[in-house]
Amino acid sequence: MATQIALFRGINVGKAKRIAMADLRSMFESLGFGNVRTLLNSGNVVFDAGRSSAAANAKRIADALIEHTGIAANTVVLTAKDLDVAIAEQAHEQLSCR
C-alpha cells in the first residue's frame, strides 16, 4: 500500500476556503483511500492510496473537493518517498549555503 500526501494551496488560510478536517477526512474515505490522517487544521492529508498514481489521485481529489465543498484549490499529491527526497534535498541545500 503506497502512502501519499495531499497538499492544498489556499484552504484554511484566512476566512475564505475553510474546510473542517473531519469533512476532508470523510471525503478521502469516500474516495476509497485508507488510513486517512490530517495535520491540525493545515489541510494536509496523509493517506494510503493503494496502487493509484499520485497524479491520478490529485485530479480525483481536486474534483471531489469541488463536488463535496464547492471549493476549488490547487492540489498536489506526492508519494511519501518523493516528499522524503524533497526534504532531504532542501536540507542539503541549506547546509551547503552555510
Whole-number pLDDT of residue 8: 87
What are the pLDDT digits (tens) for 40-80?
777 789 999 988 999 999 999 999 999 998 888 889 999 98
Return the axis-axis angle of helices 54-69 and 21-30, rounded to nearest 10°: 120
What is the band of 96 on the pLDDT scale with cuts at 50, 70, 90?
confident
C-alpha distances out from residue 13 to 3, 47, 63, 73, Å: 25, 22, 20, 12
pTM of the model: 0.84
Other C-beta atoms lying within 10 Å of the C-beta of residue 26? 13
Q: Give, in degrees to the nearest 5, the angle at Cα 78 between 77 and 82.
A: 170
d(CA 21, CA 23): 5
Query: pLDDT confidence of 32, banded at 50, 70, 90?
Result: very high
